[in-house]
Amino acid sequence: MKRVPLSRGELRELAVWVEQACGIAIGPDKGYLVQSRLGPLVEEAGCRSYHEFLQQVASGRLASMRDRIVDALTTNETSWFREPDSWLRFEKHVLPLLRERFGPRLRAWSAACSSGQEPYSLVMLMAERSRRGLDEGLRVEVLASDLSPSALFVARSGRYAEFAARRGLSGRREAILHRYFEREGRFFVIRPEVRGRVRFKMHNLLDPVPWVGRLHLVMLRNVMIYFSPAVKEAVLRRLTGSMPAGAILWLGGSETLFGLSAPLAPLPGVRGFYEVKR
Amino acid sequence: MTNRPEVPDRAAVLAAVDAVDNLPPFPEVVAEVRDELGRPDPEPARVAALIEEDAALAARFLAVASAPRYSPTAPPRTVRQAVVRVGLAETARVILAVAVYERFRRFGPPDARAFWEHGMAVGLLGATLARMADASPEVAELAYTAGLLHDLGELALYHLYPEVSAAIAARSHKTGRPNHEVERAALGVEHGEVGGRLASRWGLPADLVAVVAFHHRPWAAPVDHRRAAQLVHIADFVAKHVGYVRAEDVPGEDFDGGAWAAWGFSLDDVDAILERARASGKEAAAFFA
């Protein structure tokens, strides 16, 4: 299904309604956020445009959508080691494979890193493994990018309010909070040795890959679900252009590339991971 | 919350702000000191005389001027000496902060000190960011003043509706949503607009009114004042992000990417901005200590 376009006028119209309905202020730079969060709802409602969607919601015909719109615009899914099973699969199957294929110098790119939880999780995972005496000689260069300056500001600063710092770090992962963060009042701050291991850049996935050189692992989790097939293919074309054969694309747990034209194949037996095929 | 009868709607809030007669007026000494400093030959003695008209203000000003940064050896003995130590331009900034704090600390959120500390941190950082970006001294001055006063509307809302405001703060804290969003959902108006309205009623300059009114929605500010609103918007986010925020307030989760781009900041500036934000926060904390 083609992504429903969002014009500037519709964004303004939507911003006025959302602000009145639930107080959320949507700036003109949030078109991407609105499309990614509300696009599925617009499609679900069978509307051909945001204008039509809004009219239906405002008129009461789609009144039940109101709470879902608020949820969609306010829910922040980001957490440390998001989708823990996927991280276990990465650790058990993918990391050894990458080392076997590309040697001890690996480059990983978290391509929609939001406020930094994903790339820092990778650095912390590697540090944890190193503590356990694993991966001797292995070095992973971690690159990260996002479209949002605000998210990147937080990522680069490595500072998280307590509720954000604790998301995903309960139970057996709680030790990570104490090991790799320093407490500063109501905040947790990533320790400099972890923070310094990630290079951040502002980047739109539709633009050329911002890094020079080959990428052995690209993390693109729970981002593609918001794109139309044509956009997905364009993004994949760009990414795989910087990935050697055998490099790995890491998707969200519920995502697939089924039906898309791209030089990628599912990594056998490892759900959520694809390998570049030439 | 919106369905509770005791929660006022937008029209009621704005009418109350327009009618509020038990909030004291904006301190006149601020404008008087500025007027004196705007003269071709500003005189420390005349500035001191204006300050001395209010004993509480004079005492607080002397205390600020006694800080090691202004008085490394012995504290000033007179207000005139204090004006000389602090310097004329800086005196105007200090008097603004001292005067609004002295006048309004009994109004607004319960933790007045944290409230004004946050305001001053935003003001100092806003002015610093303006200088970092080579903006004019006038813009830096506006950023300082507007930063200090940016949450004026919260003060008015707390004064007019203490229980509703406390509930809004609690909800914001519980849900992690910024208080201006919760305010707008509950009342149909947020503290920026309320503050702008109050500032306008007090006859404060139009640029200051606009920045206060639009500090959470800088993209909607009148074009002439948009850049200053963007600056205070970013400074507000950063001050919260480094911890200079009231206990029940939620650290800023998002700022407008357009504001960031308009000021030409980049990711390479983040460390320097954070460092300056910490320094601004420390200075603000020391000021109200």
All domains in chain A, ordered by first residue: 8-74 (1.10.155), 84-276 (3.40.50.150)
The pLDDT assigned to A74 comes to 64
Helix axes B55-65, B44-52, angle to 10 degrees: 130
CB distance A238 to A205 below 8 Å: yes
The pLDDT assigned to A76 comes to 59
Closest-CA distance of chain A to residue B169, Å:
14
ipTM of the shown complex: 0.87
CB distance A115 to A155 below 8 Å: yes
Distance CA B89, CA B260 (A): 29
DSSP A188: E
- Which residue is closest to A115 within chain B, CA to CA? B253
Nearest to B182 among A19, A23, A187 (CB): A23
pLDDT, tens digit only, all 278 positions of chain A? 467 889 989 998 888 888 777 667 788 888 877 887 888 788 878 888 999 998 888 887 877 777 778 777 766 568 999 999 999 999 999 999 999 999 999 999 999 999 999 999 999 999 999 999 999 999 999 999 998 899 999 999 999 988 889 989 988 889 999 999 999 988 999 999 999 999 999 998 889 999 999 999 999 998 887 677 888 899 999 999 999 999 999 999 878 898 899 999 999 999 999 999 98
Q: Look at B105 and B273; give whichever has higher pLDDT.
A: B273
Distance CA B233, CA B244 (A): 14
- Which residue is closest to B184 within chain A, CA to CA? A23
Query: Is the pLDDT at B171 greater than 90, yes or no?
Result: no
Q: pLDDT grade, residue B213 (50/70/90)?
A: very high
DSSP A262: S
The pLDDT assigned to B252 comes to 60
Q: Structural domains in chain B?
A: 25-95 (no CATH), 107-288 (1.10.3210.10)
Distance CA A224, CA A162 (A): 29
Average confidence (pLDDT) over B188-201: 94
What residues of A are in contact with residue B2 (Cβ under 8 Å)? none
Between A25-29, A196-200, B55-59, B231-235, the lowest mean confidence (pLDDT) is in A25-29
- Which residue is closest to B264 within chain A, CA to CA? A149
**B241 close to A (CB below 8 A):** yes
* Pairing state between β A273-276 and A248-250: antiparallel
Distance CA B280, CA B265 (A): 18
Q: What average pLDDT does the structure give for chain B?
A: 91
Closest CA to B245 of B183, B172, B184: B172
DSSP string for A71-128: HHHH-----TTSSHHHHHHIIIIIHHHHHHHH-SEEEEEETT-TTTHHHHHHHHHHHH
CB distance A156 to B267 below 8 Å: yes
Query: Is the pLDDT at B21 greater than 70, yes or no?
Result: yes
CB distance B212 to B152 below 8 Å: yes
CB count in 10 Å sphere of residue B22 = 7
| pLDDT digit string, tens, across residues B80-119 | 999 999 999 889 989 998 999 888 888 888 888 999 999 9
Close Cβ partners of B104 (under 8 Å, ≥ 6 residues apart): B23, B24, B112, B155
**B185 close to A (CB below 8 A):** yes
Between A19-33, B64-78, B227-241, the lowest mean confidence (pLDDT) is in A19-33
Distance CA B235, CA B227 (A): 12
Spacing of C-alpha B236 from chain mean position: 10
